[in-house]
Amino acid sequence: MKLFYKYLSIIALLFSTVSCKKYLDITPDNLGTLEYAFRNRNEAENYLFTCYAYLQRLSDITANPAFTTSGEIIYPDNLTSYSDNTTGFFMLKGTQTASNPGLNTWDGANGSYSLFRSIRACNTMLENIDQPIDLSATEKKRWIAEVKFLKAYYHYYLMRMYGPIPIVDENLPITSTTEEVRVKRAPLNEVVQYIVSLLDEAAPDLPPVIQNQSTELGRVTKLIALAVKAEVLATAASPLFNGNADYVDLKDKDGVALFPITYDPQKWKAAADACLIAINECAAQGLTLHQFIPPANISQLSDSLKTVLSIQTAVTEKWELNDELIWAHAPLFGWEGRATPRLTSRSVNNAFSNPGTFSVPIQMQELFYTDKGVPINEDLTWDYNNRYTLKTGDRQSRYFIREGYETVKAHFGREPRFYADVAFDGGIWFGNGIYDQNNAYAVQARGSSSYAGPHDLIRFNNTGYWPKKLVNYLSVYDDGFQPVYYHLPIMRLASLYLLYAEALNEFEGPQNQDIFEYIDLVRARAGLPGVKPAWSTYSKNPNKPNTKEGLRQIIHQERRIELCFEAQAGWDLRRWKELQTVLSNPLLGWSVYNEEAINYYRPTVKLTPVFSLKDYLWPIRTEDIITNPNLVQNPYW
């Protein structure tokens, strides 16, 4: 689409109009260049797209903290010299330091990128928007709204990583003194209020949806602004930022507390209200949970596989055809090969386009429900204690597991999202050029004829599981490389439904029946019964949905399942203050170098994560603290 390519064409302008200061970029330079940039409408539009272009950097999944530090993916140790960016993945080994922070969006040192530069570009755009005399009033109003949204989003991204941050409402004059440039971190409540105010200003002047998709898809809409506002308020209401006693001593140099110390339940009410407004606007614009419609080349499709494909294509469907998608990354997702097992002997020759390096730990497999819609350790009908014993694929499970293939019992009787999202030894892979459900590929990850097994000099996948969800079923990885690209979602309608349910539960508890309505909509698309009937019929803990605490656990697990591998769980687990618990035990995989099933299916330690209380927030680089004595470091760093 034209806008995406236009983004790429103006990257050079981006670098010509921002400073190279390392600690906080808030004063202008290159004034002559800026005068040229706003001399007419066309040049100003290029600068607008420069503001958008910064989002491209956030689309790099390997540099996204919510993907790399969530515990959803392990990157193999033996591929440290491979071409992928492994900084974020290896943070779970304890590599993060204040002297040289990884994924450093504060000052952008050492190969990272400073989002304060992004904010500065937005300020520059707003300061110069009146210069082009051939810019219509209608376009100007929309452009201002778009830039205000981007400015809000960049502040929000920084807030999720660092907590209290400096509010950069406008660029400082070039004549600013050294002391004026030494900005302070604002209290968190002020940061949230500022972000929300920008979103409120932007939303009315944004189009509800994109009408001209051939040229404008990727630009901000009212739906996006409303959905992001809901997420911002839910983040501010969550335990990490709402009355967190761990940060009681964080104050600036004047003694001003930077975190709210007292828990405020009304923040959840504000989040719930914002969610409902966004949901209603989505409904008004025709958004609904995505359902797969088989194309003409698929003549037969079982109901079970159709459900699996509805789940997969909620992520991988074309943006303009996905009736659930609120917002997605503008650049195409380029990591399908990292999420794909080798399915044929010919695909082994395609190792570097199909390396399958994104390894999913056993803990993620065990997160998914049984086919009754409850956790595997709660289901009265599921043999949890013997889940690692062997079982042969049968006729009943043939659309999920190859018939006659020996695997473990843990792979049987699971919910459709498990089969849609995770590839495993013996699991069916519908697609890769074959669209006959009776002759579909199956993953073969062990044995002497394995395409990803022990004969590899380098073991690209070290757990025996792949994030299948991130691969378009139309993509083909064989002796040729034929990916069908898509745009990875940032916000889907399902996410908004579950966020609304979460906020309602935190504010009112399970007596509000709307909670169950919105969770059950998501579960129904996944082929599962509603929460209440599932727990009352199949769970060892049938009263769990009837308490706020029990329902909270259900909602959190539901979000982790529904949104897994979409760079969302890392943010959720942080704001819930649950990431430390998730990473408190070693991450496991199968004994992938063994050929016999009895030896392959032995859980082995693949990574012992290092994550402590201090890791919930990123450190500000030590050099920045020295350069700007008005800054204070995050706790425990």
Predicted confidence at residue 305, as pLDDT, reads: 97
Q: Are 63 and 46 in contact (CB under 8 A)?
A: no
Q: Across residues 594-609, what is the average pLDDT? A: 95
Residues with Cβ within 8 Å of 32's Cβ and at least 6 positions away in sequence, in order, are none
Which DSSP helix (H) or strand (E) runs through 607? strand 604-607
Q: What is the pLDDT of residue 13?
A: 34
Residue bearing tokens 């000099």: 457
Helix (H, G, I), strand (E, B) or coil at 536: helix
* Domain extents in the chain: 303-323+333-486
Predicted pLDDT at 418: 98
C-alpha distances in Å from residue 28, one per residue of 128, 146, 169, 221 = 12, 21, 14, 29
Is residue 111 classed exposed, middle or buried when 0-12, 13-18 and 19+ CB atoms within 10 A define those classes?
exposed
Which residue type sits at 126? Answer: L
Percent of the chain exceeding pLDDT 90 equals 80
d(CA 13, CA 358): 34
Which amino acid does the sequence have at 279? Answer: I
pLDDT over 70 at 282, yes or no? yes
How far, in Å, CA of 68 to CA of 308, rounded? 25
Q: Is the pLDDT of residue 22 over 50?
A: no
d(CA 160, CA 579): 14
The SS3 of residue 587 is: strand
Long-range contacts of 386-391 (CB under 8 A, 24+ apart): 388/601, 388/602, 388/603, 390/597, 390/598, 390/601
- Enumerate the β-bridge partners of residue 589: 604
Q: Quote the pLDDT of residue 521.
A: 98
Contacts of 385 (CB under 8 A, 6+ apart): none
Q: Let me know: does 567 contact 67? Beta carbons within 8 Å.
A: yes
For the chain, how many residues are written?
A: 637
Averaged over 525-548, what is the pLDDT? 98
Q: Which residues contact 530 (CB under 8 A, 6 or more apart)?
A: 516, 519, 520, 523, 524
- Condensed to tens digits (0 to 9), the pLDDT of residues 425-474 reads 999 999 999 999 999 999 998 865 566 654 444 568 999 999 999 999 99
Quick check: helix, strand or coil at residue 594? coil
Assess contact for 96 and 619: CB atoms under 8 A. Answer: yes
Q: What's the pLDDT band for 111 if we cut at 50, 70, 90?
A: confident
Burial (CB count <10 Å: 0-12, 13-18, 19+), residue 266: exposed
- Distance CA(564)–CA(582), nearest Å, equals 14
- Residues 573 and 70: beta-carbon distance below 8 Å: yes
Confidence of residue 18 (pLDDT cuts 50, 70, 90): very low
Structure-block tokens of residue 358: 């994104």
Average predicted confidence (pLDDT) for the chain:
91
Q: Give the mean model confidence (pLDDT) for residues 281-290.
A: 98
Mean pLDDT of 540-553: 98
- What are the tokens at 494? 């399902």
Q: Is the pLDDT of residue 567 over 70?
A: yes
Query: Does residue 15 have a pLDDT over 50?
Result: no
Closest CA to 429 of 298, 592, 293, 312: 312
Between 25 and 183, name the one with better pLDDT. 183
Buried b (16+ CB within 10 A) or exposed e, 500-516: bbbbbbbbbebeeeebb
- What pLDDT is stored for residue 112 in this prediction? 83
Q: Is the backbone of residue 475 left (phi > 0), alpha (psi -120 to 50) or beta?
A: beta
The model's confidence at residue 339, banded by pLDDT at 50, 70 and 90, is very high
Looking at residue 447, what is its pLDDT? 66
Cα angle, residue 87 at apex, residues 84 and 90 outer, rounded to 5°: 105
Confidence of residue 315 (pLDDT cuts 50, 70, 90): very high
Nearest to 62 by CA among 101, 89, 28: 89
Mean pLDDT of 396-410: 97
> How far is residue 238 from each of residues 271, 284, 300, 557, 567, measured CA to CA in Å?
10, 29, 46, 16, 18
Which residue from 564, 571, 569, 572 is spatially nearest to 311, judged by alpha carbons? 564
User: Which stretch, 110-114, 308-312, 346-350, has highest mean pLDDT?
Assistant: 308-312
**CB neighbour list of residue 402: distance below 8 Å, 6 or more residues apart:** 393, 426, 427, 428, 442
Beta strands 481-482 and 325-328, pairing class: unpaired
pLDDT at 338 over 80: yes
pLDDT at res. 211: 84
